Amino acid sequence: MPERALAAQEPGYRHEDPPLPHLWNGEGEAGSESEGGSRPEGGHLFRVADSDVHASALPPHQRPPHEPRAWRRGAGAGRRHRAVHRGRALRPTQGEGRGIGAGLTVDERAARLQRLGELREGRLPLYGNRFRPTHSIPDVIRDFGPRTSEELEKADGSLKIAGRVLTLRSFGKAIFAHLLGGGAKLQVYFRRDAMGEQGFAQTRWLDTGDWVGAEGRLFRTRTGELTLAVESFQILTKCLRPMPEKWHGLADVELRYRQRYLDLIVNPEVRRMVEVRQKVLAGIRRFLTDRGYVEVETPLMQPLAGGASARPFVTHHNTLDMRLFLRIAPELYLKRLVAGGLERVFEIGRNFRNEGISTRHNPEFTMLEFYQSFATYEDLMDLTEALIGEVAKESVGGHRVTFGEGELDLTPPWPRLTLAESLVRVGGLPEENVGDPDRLQRLAVERGLKLDALEGTGGPGALQMALFEELVEPKLVRPTFITRYPIEVSPLARRNDEDPSVVDRFELFIAGQEIANAFSELNDPIDQRRRFEEQVRHRREEEREWAAVDEDFLTALEIGMPPAAGEGIGIDRLVMLLTGSASIRDVILFPLLRPPKVDAT
RNA sequence: GAGGCUGUAGCUCAGUCGGUAGAGCAUCUGCCUUUUAAGCAGGUGGCCGCGAGUUCGAUUCUCGCCAGCCUCACCA
């Protein structure tokens, strides 16, 4: 998997990562010297507090809860073993929700809750917020990772770190653990001789998944791993649910999407994706604002859903008693702003399209749209090469990205083909067929293309598009601009001056996917009105009763929009490309899923 | 919306040519002071997705439903 490969490059995950996440470990930390010493057969303890003896006399499932007091008795007396509480650990709890930790009977959660209760009883600062790490775990690795054992020994002063316990390997009087913090892992070493009995005794309340703060000094183990020798520590937050399996992790994609918090802990590539995505967004903002673009926000709730051909989501405002649509595109609002004299504007935001779901489609998705006055679609091709080139460098460090089995090179410049050229040169159609509707029709039928696309608006344009999508698009792996689209599929784009059957438009394809769509904007209000009315007539035939002409937008054009070019770039797909993700759900933290079935309780 | 595949312990997965189920990890118990998928020993844990049908008997066969994934359609 490419994600794994990416993740493996991270410093925190450096040491011999297995093919799957390398987590979870461990024996529970059997708390060594139990007060009761050896146990009689059957696993029940006798020499414990009175209440415990009492409880132990009952079968496990009937034992009442009790309140251990051992902690108050100080270090010596406090050295109680978990066996003491075995009875309670077996209490069933009700299933709560689904997924990890739900529906257990003999329950890990009960055991963890019990430890939580004991910590409370001991008046330890659980859920406290006064622990202040001196170093993040990535800091520690960066600053001390290169140092030798001798250098680490000479360094004076201890440091404080915080993280989540990923693995626990207990040897009775010593425990190794890995803490995860800031996306990196650091081993910590609890040793009774170094911590004192009282300090070490606290480790028996430790579970995988807990957040802990630890203070100590760095050293290297026999195997050379940088490790914090803990002098003292505290449990900051208890984890009450079982963690995913340490070796295979959380593989069930449904659980990964539904419980992204677990996915983030266990699968490093998720965090990596979040970081890449953030850099992409920041990089785009910087790139455009450096060039005089102004970032704006336009309505997500719109009385008319325009700017694209998708079906909208419908909602309702109570006080105004008004039907509203979640926007399917910001286009018509951004162009109003261009008409108002904001000569360069952009918006990065969510669009909502009430269409099918697939590996490339989520009902809500993020798009960049930008408009530049006094520019043409050709200018935007240059701009797009520079933008995506820079963003790739900033987010993943170069122009080469892993993609499927291989690698993809994004180094500009990229080839530019007209749609007709691409049909011949990429799609392999005989040249003389491309302009001939009858021959195109015949070819389309021969190849069994969908007939609804062949009807509809008809004409050679729609046929060319159908053939393009079938024959050319999947082959456009390296970045390629396709220009000169038929006018009937481009209702908002400006007509080409030489050939009125096509528009001044390009789409950018990478890895067989449409990444960007741009055109010189139509700013002739008469032509625009005619095309809108044509479009609405078609929509109504398709029983899209909400289709309507946006009169206010036409008014803006009548006020006058300067000549301009505009472009939309799908952010999710760009991030997919840069992270080598096969599904859009892997780059959206909470993709839309049906709600999980709730068991009647 | 159509087709295909999948659903078994908290997690990752076997399995049952129809006789109500196993492993590893986790959890619980005992031992273990440089481990790292730690180790050794002993336990707990399952409406086998849900419902119906066939059958003496269904987790297994059939049908329906639910959820997920993949392909296609709509769409970007």
Closest protein CA to C1' of nucleotide B31, residue: A172
- Determine if strand B comes within 7 Å of the CB of A297: no
pLDDT of amino acid A462: 77
pLDDT of amino acid A27: 26
Can you give the distance from the CA of residue A340 to the C1' of nucleotide B18 in angstroms? Answer: 76
- Determine if strand B comes within 7 Å of the CB of A313: no
- Determine if strand B comes within 7 Å of the CB of A594: yes
pLDDT of amino acid A55: 28
Torsion of CA A484, A487, A489, A492, to 10 degrees: 100
Can you give the distance from the CA of residue A266 to the C1' of nucleotide B30 in angstroms? Answer: 31
Residues 541-580 of chain A sitting with CB below 7 angstroms of strand B: 570, 572-573
Residues 102-141 of chain A sitting with CB below 7 angstroms of strand B: 102-106, 108, 111
Q: How far apart are the first and last CA of chain A?
A: 40
Residues in a beta bridge with A366: A350
Q: Does the pLDDT of residue A38 top 60, yes or no?
A: no
Q: Does the pLDDT of residue A406 top 90, yes or no?
A: no
Torsion of CA A98, A103, A106, A112, to 10 degrees: 40
Q: Does the pLDDT of residue A576 top 90, yes or no?
A: yes
Query: For A56, how many CA atoms within 13 A lie in the half-sphere containing its CB?
Result: 18
Helix (H, G, I), strand (E, B) or coil at A455: coil
Q: How many CB atoms lie within 10 A of CB A551?
A: 11
Residues 376-435 of chain A sitting with CB below 7 angstroms of strand B: none
Closest protein CA to C1' of nucleotide B43, residue: A43
Q: What is the mean pLDDT of residues A148-165?
A: 92
Residue of A400 and A83 predicted with greater confidence = A400
Can you give the distance from the CA of residue A467 to the C1' of nucleotide B72 in angstroms? Answer: 17
Nucleotide nearest A191, CA–C1', reads B33
The structure tokens listed for A549 are 């002409």
Specify the pTM: 0.82
Q: Does the pLDDT of residue A456 top 50, yes or no?
A: no
Can you give the distance from the CA of residue A17 to the C1' of nucleotide B21 in angstroms? Answer: 34
Phi, psi values for residue A322, rounded to 5°: -130, 135
Q: Does the pLDDT of residue A83 top 80, yes or no?
A: no
pLDDT band at residue A45 using 50, 70 and 90 as cut-offs: very low
Average pLDDT, chain A: 80
Instruction: Assess contact for A186 and A230: CB atoms under 8 A.
Output: no
Residue with tokens 């001056």: A497
Instruction: Assess contact for A9 and A183: CB atoms under 8 A.
Output: no
Per-residue pLDDT tens digits for A275-322 = 999 999 999 999 999 999 999 999 999 999 989 989 999 999 999 999
Nucleotide nearest A572, CA–C1', reads B76
Residue from A320, A297, A371 nearest A341 by CA: A371
pLDDT of amino acid A459: 64
Q: What is the mean pLDDT of residues A518-542?
A: 91
Can you give the distance from the CA of residue A252 to the C1' of nucleotide B17 in angstroms? Answer: 30
Q: What is the mean pLDDT of residues A14-21?
A: 28
pLDDT band at residue A450 using 50, 70 and 90 as cut-offs: low
Query: For A394, how many CA atoms within 13 A lie in the half-sphere containing its CB?
Result: 18
Can you give the distance from the CA of residue A167 to the C1' of nucleotide B68 in angstroms? Answer: 30
Can you give the distance from the CA of residue A7 to the C1' of nucleotide B70 in angstroms? Answer: 25
Residue from A213, A195, A190, A203 nearest A132 by CA: A213
Per-residue pLDDT tens digits for A353-393 = 999 999 999 999 999 999 999 999 999 999 999 999 999 99
- Determine if strand B comes within 7 Å of the CB of A207: yes
- Determine if strand B comes within 7 Å of the CB of A373: no
Q: Does the pLDDT of residue A198 top 50, yes or no?
A: yes
Residue from A357, A296, A243, A344 nearest A565 by CA: A344
Contacts with A178 (C-beta within 8 Å, 6 or more apart), sequence order: A23, A25, A165, A166, A167, A185, A186, A187, A188
- Determine if strand B comes within 7 Å of the CB of A361: yes
Can you give the distance from the CA of residue A101 to the C1' of nucleotide B56 in angstroms? Answer: 39
The structure tokens listed for A393 are 């460098």
- Determine if strand B comes within 7 Å of the CB of A38: yes
- Determine if strand B comes within 7 Å of the CB of A99: yes
Residues 316-335 of chain A sitting with CB below 7 angstroms of strand B: none
Q: Does the pLDDT of residue A448 top 70, yes or no?
A: no
Fill in the DSSP letter of residue A203: G
Can you give the distance from the CA of residue A105 to the C1' of nucleotide B21 in angstroms? Answer: 18
- Determine if strand B comes within 7 Å of the CB of A82: yes
Ramachandran quadrant class, A26 (left: phi over 0; alpha: psi -120 to 50; beta: rest)? left
pLDDT of amino acid A458: 53
pLDDT band at residue A24 using 50, 70 and 90 as cut-offs: very low
Q: Does the pLDDT of residue A46 top 70, yes or no?
A: no
Closest protein CA to C1' of nucleotide B26, residue: A245
Nucleotide nearest A245, CA–C1', reads B11
- Mean pLDDT lowest among A176-185, A274-283, A451-460: A451-460
Q: How far apart, in whole angstroms, are the C-alpha atoms of residue A175 and residue A29?
A: 8
Q: How far apart, in whole angstroms, are the C-alpha atoms of residue A230 and residue A161?
A: 10
Q: How far apart, in whole angstroms, are the C-alpha atoms of residue A44 and residue A185?
A: 38
Sequence-ordered strand ranges (E) for A84-183? 159-170, 174-181
Q: Does the pLDDT of residue A86 top 50, yes or no?
A: no
- Determine if strand B comes within 7 Å of the CB of A228: no
pLDDT of amino acid A157: 85
- Determine if strand B comes within 7 Å of the CB of A255: yes
Q: What is the mean pLDDT of residues A235-260?
A: 94
- Determine if strand B comes within 7 Å of the CB of A148: no
Ramachandran quadrant class, A281 (left: phi over 0; alpha: psi -120 to 50; beta: rest)? alpha
Q: How far apart, in whole angstroms, are the C-alpha atoms of residue A102 and residue A96?
A: 5
Residues in a beta bridge with A302: A325
pLDDT band at residue A11 using 50, 70 and 90 as cut-offs: very low
Fill in the DSSP letter of residue A358: B
- Determine if strand B comes within 7 Å of the CB of A591: yes
Can you give the distance from the CA of residue A356 to the C1' of nucleotide B63 in angstroms? Answer: 28
pLDDT of amino acid A463: 80
**Strand B nucleotides within 7 Å of a protein CB:** 1, 10-13, 24-40, 42-47, 66-76
Q: Alpha helix (H) ranges present in A505-596?
A: 525-541, 551-559, 571-579
pLDDT of amino acid A240: 94
- Determine if strand B comes within 7 Å of the CB of A601: no
Write out the DSSP string of A30-97.
--SS-TT-S--GGG---SS-HHHHHHHTS-GGGPPP----GGGGHHHHH---GGGGHHHHT------S
Q: Does the pLDDT of residue A192 top 80, yes or no?
A: yes
Contacts with A308 (C-beta within 8 Å, 6 or more apart), sequence order: A328, A329, A331, A351, A353
Residue from A601, A593, A7, A1 nearest A256 by CA: A593
- Determine if strand B comes within 7 Å of the CB of A43: yes
- Determine if strand B comes within 7 Å of the CB of A198: no
Can you give the distance from the CA of residue A599 to the C1' of nucleotide B67 in angstroms? Answer: 13
Residue of A389 and A124 predicted with greater confidence = A389
Q: What is the mean pLDDT of residues A451-478?
A: 74
